[in-house]
Amino acid sequence: MGDNDDSKVFIGKKKAMAYVMAAMVVLNEGPVKLLARGRSISRAVDVAEITIHKFVKGSHYGEIKIGTEALENADGISNVSSIEIEILPAKK
Amino acid sequence: MGDNDDSKVFIGKKKAMAYVMAAMVVLNEGPVKLLARGRSISRAVDVAEITIHKFVKGSHYGEIKIGTEALENADGISNVSSIEIEILPAKK
């Protein structure tokens, strides 16, 4: 599986376990990237830790990137922090 | 400056700018580590982005680590996600 949208899980306002499940499905095939913005960043970190330590034995962190995205809303453009957490499956 | 507490900034519930100021003071001497737990993780990412892009020209990310800490509270022990974001000063 390449770097397409299928290998990305966008973290929003649902409970962490919903995203853990989605991440597990992707990890079964290859690496997964968890993407989150603003307040959801804390949840993305929770999802990563739960996935790695509780559900997918041997999975581990790949690259962790931090950035800023410009979001357009009613008040104009605002800058929001973002995170991209890569999780790699267990080595075979 | 070594890896002592002076080079760490613990991110809590204050406004991001308070921590940006603290990080800038440390960065003036050497690398700084931003530490945060739980909901404050999002704020730590904001602090890092603001420090790097708006205040300290040439500073850049070092290692970014994610983990889990066991916290004792009234209900017993609960696990909380944590992040450690290293920021390195501009190369001289």
For position B4, what pLDDT does the model report? 65
The DSSP secondary structure of B7-30, one letter per residue, reads: GEEE--SS-HHHHHHHHHHHHTTS
Residue of chain A minimizing CA distance to B81: A46
Confidence of residue A1 (pLDDT cuts 50, 70, 90): very low
Residue B38 contacts A, CB cutoff 8 Å: yes
- What's this model's pTM, rounded to 2 decimal places? 0.90
Radius of gyration over every alpha carbon of chain B, rounded to an integer in angstroms: 14
Residue A4 has pLDDT above 70, yes or no: no
For position B75, what pLDDT does the model report? 86
For position A46, what pLDDT does the model report? 97
pLDDT per residue over B35-89, tens digit each?
999 999 999 999 999 999 999 999 999 999 999 999 888 889 999 999 999 999 9
Residue B45 contacts A, CB cutoff 8 Å: yes
Average pLDDT over residues A65-73: 93
Confidence of residue B1 (pLDDT cuts 50, 70, 90): very low
- More confidently predicted of B46 and B5: B46
Residue of chain B minimizing CA distance to A40: B42
How many angstroms away from the CA of A83 is the closest CA of chain B?
Answer: 8
Residue A64 contacts B, CB cutoff 8 Å: yes
Is A32 strand, coil or helix?
Answer: strand
Q: What residue segments make up the domains of chain A, in order of their start?
A: 5-88
Is B76 strand, coil or helix?
Answer: strand
ipTM of the complex as predicted: 0.88
Average pLDDT over residues B23-41: 96
For position A17, what pLDDT does the model report? 97
Q: Supply the mean pLDDT for chain A.
A: 93
Residue B40 contacts A, CB cutoff 8 Å: yes
Question: What CATH homologous superfamily does B5-88 map to?
Answer: Alba-like domain (3.30.110.20)
Confidence of residue A51 (pLDDT cuts 50, 70, 90): very high
The C-alpha atoms of residue B5 and residue A83 are separated, in whole angstroms, by 26
Residue of chain A minimizing CA distance to B66: A45
